[in-house]
Amino acid sequence: MDTEALFECVTSLSCLVTQTSTGLIVGSLLFLVATGLTLIFGVLGIVNFAHGSLYMLGAYIALSAFRLTDSFIIATFVGAIGVGAFSLFFERFFMRRVYGADVLMQLLVCYAFILILDDAVKIIWGSEFQSMGMPSYFQEPPVFLAGGVIPVFYIYLIGIAACMALALWLLLNKTIIGKIVRAAASNPSMTSALGLNTSLIYAGVFAFGGALAGLAGALAAPVRSMSPGMGFSILIESFIVTVIGGMGSVSGALVGALLIGLIRSFGSIGFPFFIEGVMFVAMAAILVLKPSGIMGKDSH
Amino acid sequence: MKARSFLQEAMIAAFMLIILVCIPFVSDSSAVIDFGIRLAAFAVFATSLNILIGFGGMVSFGHALYFGAGAYSFGLIMQHLDLPIPVAFLLAVGFCATVAAIVGAICVRLKEIYFAFLTLAFQMLFHSIVVSWTSFTGGDQGLMGGLPRPPFLGLNLVEPSDLYLFSMVVGVVSLLLMRYILQSPFGFTLRMVRDNPDRAKFLGVNVWRIKLLAFVLAGSFGGIGGIIMALLVSGAFPDFTYWTMSGEAVFMVLMGGVNTFIGPVLGAALLLGFNDIITRVTEHHGLALGAIILLFALVFKHGITDFIVQGWHKLTGKKVES
Amino acid sequence: MQKRSQAIASQQRRKILTGSAAAVGLASIGLPSIALAQNNPIKIGMPTILSGRVAMLGEASRNAAIMGVEAFNAAGGLNGRPVELVIRDSKGRPDEAARIARELVNSDGCEMILDAEASSGAFGVHEVARDLGFLVMHTCSETSALSADPKMRIPNAFRAARQGIHDAIVGGDYSAKVAKEKGLTRWMSISPDYSYGKDTTAEFFEYLKYFNKNVEVVNSVWPKLFQADYSEPITRLLQGKPQAIYSCLWGGDLTSFIDQASIYGLMKDRQFFGVNMADYAVLTAIKAVPPNVHSGNRYLKSIPKTQQNAAWCDAYIAKFKTMPLNWSWQNAVGIDFMLNAIKKTNGTDTKKMSDVLQGMTIKSPFGTNGEITMRALDHTIIDYAIAWGELQPKEPYMPNPYMGNWTTVLELEKQWMIKKGFIS
Amino acid sequence: MLKIENLRKSFGGVVATNDVSIEFPRDSLCAVIGPNGAGKTTFFNLISGALQPDSGRILLDGQDIVGKSSAQIVHMGIGRAFQVAKLFKSLTVEQSLRGALLSPLGKSSSLAGRFPLSVTRDRAYEVMDQLGLTPKANVISGVLSHGDQKLLDMALALVLSPKVLLLDEPVAGMGPEEREQMMDTVYGLWKKGGLTIVLIEHDMEIVFKVSQNIHVLSYGKVLAEGTPEQIRKNPVVIEAYLGSAKEHAA
């Protein structure tokens, strides 16, 4: 525990800016992954343990697309859409069979896919780690802001995450689709009574959630090397985020992701060796004090 | 329902034990011996988890905490204080019980997925403590230098054959104990709490206390599994406390079936068996094991034993009961 | 212990008896004894990691081992008896590694183990070897403790791999020189937060300071192993304003770090000393190796600059269509030592092989002067080529390497061992 | 016997139980009726300790039980059956009852001995005989008929030999003749004596048949009290019911 270093940083503007922006960077990718997870849980009431693997898949698909087209924009889209499509397949043919079954059956199906996807990736893209490399148009010197440093690419990244957050909010709160989805979340039987095709909504939400994970993977590809099994760590982190923010709450995912981001960036100064520990303590604390999470509405 | 008396069950267990102990004399292939030892460890571990999942209706994702706690506490005791193995064994189990009591007191108030995630959080917390406390636990490399295993009662646990004997006895006795506990008044109160906690409350049952007791018992027996494993690998590793280990226990329980006592034992045998065979025959065990797990999830649904039991009752037209 | 060795001895006896009995039998029928020989190859078990994040460790190790064995068999094996590798995936789990090692020896009839496990797995296998008493050759764990620490030592275990302390001494020596030329006094480090990272970094700085008194280590940051995002350690480094940065990150982590560091402009006008940079996996993954990057050699075709090494590298690429890695040469050496010992003892007796392996010297493309020795004291290899130098983006990646001087290395290592209380 | 004084409970703005004072004499069979949303079930929840009142007292034999946990209140002698039967779906009828008998014996968390404890046998069969469940002793609760489930639910409350038995709509969702049987059973229980029964029902006919005293709740207030005859004639009551009927129609 290095409190004075932490204090020192909090008092210096440049450090404050840098660490905060770092928190945003870590947070924004985490948000994209976690929000998909939380959407799926909120609407379908299932925990998609395979979400990390979808992130991995997104990164690898984007890598191939980038190598073919040499355009990062296209690569990102292909990554997101490709994973969305895969998620649709996964939901229609497998997850759908374990709705209503207890969480353990869902865990089982998802774990099977974690194993299968890791192996598939190894067979298709090889066991050696891969790296996309930074697209030329992002190879700019970083921006200096009040003495703090922010790379251009990360500004772009935070921007996209912010747009996604906004778009999601509008989609869920301002559109008919949003109303339907929220209805399905709160009371499936009612929606089907209203003549809405619940199973279609479920499929759509699952695919969308998957696509978000894929998008995150694709966006991370230029700076994070890929290897089979890379989904594991991100999965645990997004669990922490969803729990802290409130399972099923998109705004919660945002808050949780940023919180974890900041814990990481300032923790690396204050308590570098126990960051993970602190994250789990936070998770436990939330579960004990307010199981529905920061943004979750209390059921009891 | 025609319940067997505990005496009868004890007889069955004793009989099984004799058979198991005789196996090495029939085929002295050390593969059998190693498998037996690992099976003992995981059968106890998985069954202990099923006290929570199957009989308590509490799905824990963090049960490996106790597997690891057992392995590490036992290992550290053997390395630092020269105590006879039985004493260290009891101390380690006591340690697990204590940890389980503390964690459980906090966890059992929560329901369903929240309980699951809280147990997970505590386990990962324990894991990151183990990994970062290098000076004491050896960090990521685990307890190095081997465990001293002084002979006792003529057993030298360095010898695989002796360790096999020891594991079989400990394993069978632990299973018998758990069986006894689950048939006790507490065991049925636990089922009542699982089926309908509200009703249990209105019958004057202290639900929280029952759940906590179940949690502590599960933790203690889980620790025994870890101790056997520590003896086998003569050390302890952070992986023992990682969430993947909890996952494996859950899969064993699910594959075997949550509604029968013996299910998890069968599940442990299945998963270990599959793992060993598959890693032998193919390098793509991910694909293979994944496919098998899918089969279990989508076809056998509630585990192999239920599948069998259901089928049997379909034939005989009786109802299933746990 | 005694009981165990007797057990082994008796096993051996049984083998020999059956063997000779069969031989007699066949001989009497008039079959050439070679027939018998080919029927029972010498099995060498190889637990390694073929899945998950470090699957490339397993593949690089396996490839090299296969090359060695094929060469040996092509040359007629042990008077007609071929060697066979039995390779298993431990998924990087120490308990699984231990289990597989037991299984290989106990039920697959492997007579010795080529252990291509990362550190914790290696420790797992090591304990099995301690219990079962078979011959084991560790080829991937660089943790000094594995062989240097007396309480780890067992007569039947050897290590054919770099050792952290050796790299540290040469690295310290080289970096101290660079520091003098370029006036680098303000240092920081970024290394993975686990024992390999911690030990290696500590040792490096120890010798950097030993060779250059006016070096100051400002701060160290410790990302987790397999961490995906390095933003926060990078910004920590930026704030420390070091002139030079040391790192023992490796593989994908190192690549991620370099990629992320360069968009932060961290590498700009700074010297970077990454001991694990000069490995083809990293060099090919990083699109453009930035300037002012120094590294130790993990494996490079040009180090040592000999035909044998170049030839071996070409053969490897030709056979497997991929570049050899650090783990490759280490396993090549490991299997060579085992095969030589088999030849020397004309058999597979653990005791005999262990005896000849102690202090054995073999010809090897990876030795500083064509030879590598298995040191008797702690059963680990010395005289393998260690070089440090500045990198360039294309072959030869390290144009003018500074070759480590083994007399210095051994001298300093001795002091280190005394200080640690490993020897007196 | 059971005396409620100025009991008050509100959820947010809504006052579910508004200053209710009722006395249930020893060995009486009383009914609490009222249109839907009159706060009947809340009233039971308060007595049985499932909810804590904002104010007021609940006296059992002169002892205030407010603030006690459900478990404690059960031990003090108030048993409760539910509108929707709360059963142990995987246990047989006999197991359920003999399980229920563990906590009064203080054996709920005892690891010693084997379930079912022999001491619990007689009481369990006594109650099963009373309610005619004996033939179903070995049937899993989950697969019992609706009627039998209600019976078992009552049996679970009864088996602990409570002083006061709270019955929440015992005939809810039953066919006519089932209702008859059920009410006969209830009446039989009461006739045997030593048991104070309070039942909630909105099927007035049934209530009028069996109960001595009737307390009418409406919007959380006691609207009227008295013998069946008095209530039957009471215009206020009729108004309340018709009124609520209107609302339903609207």
Residue range B222-231, pLDDT digits in tens: 999 999 999 9
Residues of chain C with Cβ-Cβ distance to A276 below 8 Å are: 224
Most confident of A173-182, C184-193, C220-229: C184-193
Closest chain B CA to residue A111: B290
Confidence band of C66 (pLDDT split at 50, 70, 90): very high
Q: Residue A1: CB partners within 8 Å, gap ≥ 6?
A: A270, A271
CA distance A137 to chain B (A): 39
Residues of chain A with Cβ-Cβ distance to B125 below 8 Å are: 277, 280-281, 284
Least confident of B69-73, C3-7, C319-323, C365-369: C3-7
Tell if the CB–CB gap between A153 and C263 is shorter than 8 Å: yes
Q: What confidence tens digit (pLDDT) does each residue in C186-219 have? A: 999 999 988 888 888 999 999 999 999 989 999 8
Confidence band of C35 (pLDDT split at 50, 70, 90): very low
Task: Write the DSSP string, C300-320.
Answer: BTTBS--HHHHHHHHHHHHHH
Is C21 a residue whose pLDDT tops 80?
Answer: no
Residues of chain A with Cβ-Cβ distance to C256 below 8 Å are: 131, 223-225
User: Would you state the torsion angle of the CA atoms of residues A258, A263, A264, A267, taken in this order, to the nearest 10 degrees?
Assistant: 160
Most confident of A79-88, B239-248, D164-173: A79-88
Is C128 a residue whose pLDDT tops 60?
Answer: yes
- Taking CB atoms and an 8 Å cut-off, how many pairs form between chains A and B? 103
Is B194 a residue whose pLDDT tops 80?
Answer: yes
Asked if C245 contacts C188 with a C-beta cutoff of 8 angstroms, the reply is yes
CA distance A130 to chain B (A): 20
Tell if the CB–CB gap between B293 and A273 is shorter than 8 Å: no
Tell if the CB–CB gap between B140 and C106 is shorter than 8 Å: no
Q: What is the DSSP letter of B3?
A: P
- Domain match, C288 and C396 both: yes
State how far the Cα of A145 lies from the Cα of C169, in Å rounded to an integer.
Answer: 41
Please tell me which of the candidates B192, B202, B319 has its beta carbon nearest to residue D80.
B202
Q: Residue B53: CB partners within 8 Å, gap ≥ 6?
A: A104, B59, B60, B250, B253, B258
Tell if the CB–CB gap between B134 and C51 is shorter than 8 Å: no
Confidence band of C9 (pLDDT split at 50, 70, 90): very low
Please tell me which of the candidates C51, C56, C264 has its beta carbon nearest to residue A129.
C56
A abuts C (3+ Cβ pairs < 8 Å): yes
Please tell me which of the candidates C3, C103, C151 has its beta carbon nearest to residue B31.
C103
Asked if C200 contacts C167 with a C-beta cutoff of 8 angstroms, the reply is yes
Whether A28 contacts chain C with CB within 8 A:
no
Average of per-residue pLDDT across B179-203:
92
Closest chain B CA to residue C222: B132
Parse chain D into domains and list their residue ranges: 2-105+114-238
Please tell me which of the candidates C50, C106, C127 has its beta carbon nearest to residue B34.
C106
Least confident of A178-192, B82-96, D28-42, D58-72: A178-192
Task: Give the best residue of A150, A224, A269 to mutate against chain C (max C CB count within 10 A).
Answer: A224
Confidence band of B123 (pLDDT split at 50, 70, 90): very high
Is C101 a residue whose pLDDT tops 80?
Answer: yes
Query: How many CA atoms lie less than 13 Å away from B184 in the CB half-sphere?
Result: 19
Q: What confidence tens digit (pLDDT) does each residue in C332-381 have? A: 999 999 999 999 999 899 999 999 999 999 999 999 989 999 999 999 99
Of all residues in chain C, what percent are helix, strand and coil, respectively (each to 5)? 50, 20, 30
CATH number of the domain that C280 lies in? 3.40.50.2300
Average of per-residue pLDDT across A251-256:
91
Tell if the CB–CB gap between C106 and B286 is shorter than 8 Å: no
**Average pLDDT of every residue of chain A:** 87
Least confident of A148-157, C24-33, D49-58: C24-33
Residues of chain B with Cβ-Cβ distance to C194 below 8 Å are: 131, 139-141
**Average pLDDT of every residue of chain B:** 88
CA distance B200 to chain D (A): 8
Tell if the CB–CB gap between B198 and D86 is shorter than 8 Å: yes
Most confident of B132-146, B291-305, C276-290, C304-318: C304-318
Boundaries of domain holding C408: 165-304+385-420
Confidence band of B3 (pLDDT split at 50, 70, 90): low
CA distance C381 to chain B (A): 21
Tell if the CB–CB gap between B233 and C95 is shorter than 8 Å: yes
Query: How many CA atoms lie less than 13 Å away from C132 in the CB half-sphere?
Result: 29
Please tell me which of the candidates C50, C151, C195 has its beta carbon nearest to residue B140.
C195
Task: Write the DSSP string, B267-278.
Answer: HHHHHHHHHHHH
Is B56 a residue whose pLDDT tops 80?
Answer: yes
Tell if the CB–CB gap between A141 and C265 is shorter than 8 Å: yes
Q: What confidence tens digit (pLDDT) does each residue in A29-80 have? A: 999 999 999 999 888 888 899 999 999 999 999 999 999 998 999 999 999 9
State how far the Cα of A28 lies from the Cα of B225, in Å rounded to an integer.
Answer: 41
D abuts B (3+ Cβ pairs < 8 Å): yes
Question: Which pLDDT belongs to residue C23?
Answer: 39
Question: Which pLDDT belongs to residue C3?
Answer: 44
Task: Write the DSSP string, A193-206.
Answer: HTT--HHHHHHHHH
Please tell me which of the candidates B129, B243, B287 has its beta carbon nearest to residue A119.
B287
Task: Give the best residue of C219, C263, C270, C276 to mutate against chain A (max A CB count within 10 A).
Answer: C263
Length of chain A: 300
Residues of chain B with Cβ-Cβ distance to A281 below 8 Å are: 121, 125
- Domain match, C179 and C316 both: no
Question: Which pLDDT belongs to residue D243?
Answer: 58
Residue of D134, D95, D101 whose CA lies nearest to B191: D95
Whether B281 contacts chain A with CB within 8 A:
no
Tally of structural domains, chain C: 2
Residues of chain B with Cβ-Cβ distance to C110 below 8 Å are: none
Q: What confidence tens digit (pLDDT) does each residue in C145-175 have? A: 888 888 888 999 999 999 889 999 999 999 9
CA distance A77 to chain C (A): 22
Residues of chain C with Cβ-Cβ distance to A267 below 8 Å are: 232
- Domain match, C288 and C318 both: no
Asked if A89 contacts A29 with a C-beta cutoff of 8 angstroms, the reply is no
Q: Residue A85: CB partners within 8 Å, gap ≥ 6?
A: A207
Q: Which residues of D touch B (CB under 8 A)?
A: 48, 69-72, 74-75, 79-80, 82, 86-92, 95-96, 99-100, 102-104, 107-117, 138-140, 143, 156-157, 160
Tell if the CB–CB gap between C235 and A22 is shorter than 8 Å: yes
Tell if the CB–CB gap between C285 and A141 is shorter than 8 Å: no
One-letter identity of residue A100: G
**Strand ranges inside C300-415, DSSP E:** 361-363, 371-374, 381-382, 387-390, 402-403
Question: Which pLDDT belongs to residue C300?
Answer: 93
Residues of chain C with Cβ-Cβ distance to B34 below 8 Å are: 99, 102-103, 106
The strands making up D55-60's β-sheet, listed across from edge to edge, are D14-24, D2-11, D55-60, D63-64
**What's the farthest any 2 CA atoms get from each other in chain C?**
82
Confidence band of A271 (pLDDT split at 50, 70, 90): confident
Question: Which pLDDT belongs to residue B322?
Answer: 41
Residues of chain B with Cβ-Cβ distance to C131 below 8 Å are: 146, 158, 160, 234
State how far the Cα of B210 lies from the Cα of D108, in Å rounded to an integer.
Answer: 8
Tell if the CB–CB gap between B141 and C3 is shorter than 8 Å: no
Tell if the CB–CB gap between B203 and D74 is shorter than 8 Å: yes
Please tell me which of the candidates B29, B235, B285 has its beta carbon nearest to residue C124.
B235
Question: Which pLDDT belongs to residue D244?
Answer: 54
Query: pTM value?
Result: 0.86
Regions of chain D short of the pLDDT cut 70: 241-250
CA distance B315 to chain A (A): 25
Q: Which chains touch A (3 or more CB pairs under 8 A)?
A: B, C
Question: Which pLDDT belongs to residue A73?
Answer: 92
Strands C293-299 and C278-279: parallel
Asked if A32 contacts A47 with a C-beta cutoff of 8 angstroms, the reply is no
Asked if C276 contacts C249 with a C-beta cutoff of 8 angstroms, the reply is yes
Closest chain B CA to residue C100: B276
Q: What confidence tens digit (pLDDT) does each residue in B24-43 have? A: 877 767 778 888 999 999 99
Residues of chain D with Cβ-Cβ distance to B187 below 8 Å are: 115
Confidence band of C33 (pLDDT split at 50, 70, 90): very low
- Domain match, C159 and C169 both: no
State how far the Cα of D237 lies from the Cα of D218, in Å rounded to an integer.
Answer: 9
Least confident of B3-12, C101-110, C115-124: B3-12
**CB burial class (10 A; 0-12, 13-18, 19+) of residue A201?**
buried
Question: Which pLDDT belongs to residue C14?
Answer: 40
- Is the domain defined by D2-105+114-238 classed in CATH 3.40.50.300? yes
Residue of C402, C399, C363 whose CA lies nearest to C384: C363
Question: Which pLDDT belongs to residue B317?
Answer: 61
Q: What confidence tens digit (pLDDT) does each residue in B275-299 have? A: 888 888 887 888 898 998 888 888 7
Please tell me which of the candidates D79, D90, D115 has its beta carbon nearest to residue B321.
D90
State how far the Cα of A44 lies from the Cα of A48, in Å rounded to an integer.
Answer: 10
Q: What confidence tens digit (pLDDT) does each residue in C252-305 have? A: 899 999 989 988 889 888 999 999 999 998 998 887 788 899 999 999 999 899
C abuts D (3+ Cβ pairs < 8 Å): no
Tell if the CB–CB gap between B293 and A115 is shorter than 8 Å: yes
One-letter identity of residue B295: L
**Average pLDDT of every residue of chain C:** 87
Asked if A226 contacts A130 with a C-beta cutoff of 8 angstroms, the reply is yes
**CB burial class (10 A; 0-12, 13-18, 19+) of residue B154?**
exposed
